[in-house]
Amino acid sequence: MLSVEAINTFYEEAHILHNVSLRVEKGETVCLLGRNGAGKTTTLRSVMGLTPAREGQILFKGEDITKLATNVIARKGIGWVPDNRRIFPTLTVQRNLEMARRTTTHKEWDVEEVYRRFPTLEELKKHKGEYLSGGEQQMLAIARTLMGNPDLLLLDEPSQGLAPKIVKEVMNIIVELKKMGISLLVVEQNSAMALAVSDRSYVLDDGRIVHESTARELDENTELKKELLGI
């Protein structure tokens, strides 16, 4: 589904990502872990074309998307849920969803499907985004991205700023998305949550991939988690 091959990404002259390589198979959930400032969000931004890689290659379903514009990448089937959610605060839940709808040739997400999968959003459909709780905003951000019918979903810090009870709800959403066959690349500071819902894991440190394994292998290795993640 996604293959990132030895990319180097810069912010002006600051070298942020150093030969980063990772892959996400069809229907797989992969987590990208690391301390603050390790380059996790920059990796997602490189995939989306927001901060294009200067060197290396990014393939989506076998097609080179490295130098494509962000809107073109999105139309090809990659959805991005940013860490600050970026919902429209003055629009209702329903209008937020309707604004994001994209017709495709395969199974379509529409408002009715979203409400079936996320009944909480149906209860809140007339509420403006600015009056939703953090967990409700995160749910809306994920659902809005699904309205674009992505094959691959990039989630940037989905548990950020949420209470533990709400984090569990977000975990359940990720599990449900996986059951639907959507491929996921999850950037997450909460490693326990990320490893619990993922098939495989990568760890970034100072812009370099320093570890790759199954999620279970990393989760069960306490010493390695302490060394790589400081936990």
| CATH code for the domain in which residue 192 is found | 3.40.50.300
CA gap 111, 99 in Å, rounded: 11
Question: Which amino acid, one-letter code, is at 47?
Answer: V
Q: Is the dihedral of CA 124, 126, 132, 135 positive or negative?
A: positive
Which pLDDT score, from 0 to 100, does residue 204 have? 95
Q: Using 50, 70 and 90 to split pLDDT, how confident is the model at 101?
A: confident
In a domain, 53, yes or no: no
In a domain, 5, yes or no: no
In a domain, 68, yes or no: no
Window from 51-55, 144-148, 218-222 with minimum mean pLDDT: 144-148
Q: Which domain holds residue 82?
A: 27-48+77-229
70-73's contacts with Cβ under 8 Å and 24+ in sequence apart are 73/47, 73/48, 73/49
Closest CA to 32 of 159, 168, 198: 198
Q: Residues 26-37: what's their mean pLDDT?
A: 93
Window from 39-43, 78-82, 104-108, 171-175 with minimum mean pLDDT: 104-108
Stronger pLDDT, 101 or 67, i.e. the higher one: 67
How many domains would you assign to the chain? 1
The chain-wide mean pLDDT, for the chain, equals 90
pTM for this entry:
0.89
Which residue in this structure is represented by tokens 């709780």?
Answer: 133
Window from 24-33, 94-103, 110-119 with minimum mean pLDDT: 94-103
Q: Residues 35-53: what's their mean pLDDT?
A: 94
Task: Please say whether the beta carbons of 85 and 104 come within 8 A.
Answer: no
In a domain, 2, yes or no: no
Query: Does residue 105 register a pLDDT over 80?
Result: no
Q: Using 50, 70 and 90 to split pLDDT, how confident is the model at 106?
A: low
Which pLDDT score, from 0 to 100, does residue 107 have? 62
Tens of pLDDT, residue by residue over 115-150, are 888 888 999 999 999 999 888 888 899 889 988 889
In a domain, 31, yes or no: yes
CA gap 195, 198 in Å, rounded: 5
In a domain, 17, yes or no: no
Closest CA to 206 of 14, 17, 77, 27: 17
Q: Residues 42-47: what's their mean pLDDT?
A: 96
Task: Give percent above pLDDT 70 in the chain.
Answer: 97
Stronger pLDDT, 104 or 35, i.e. the higher one: 35
Task: Please say whether the beta carbons of 89 and 129 come within 8 A.
Answer: yes
- Which spans in the chain are helix H? 40-47, 70-75, 93-99, 111-117, 119-123, 134-146, 164-179, 191-197, 215-220, 222-229
Task: Please say whether the beta carbons of 150 and 75 come within 8 A.
Answer: no
Query: Does residue 168 register a pLDDT over 90?
Result: no
Q: How many residues does the chain have?
A: 231
In a domain, 136, yes or no: yes
CA gap 4, 59 in Å, rounded: 6
In a domain, 56, yes or no: no
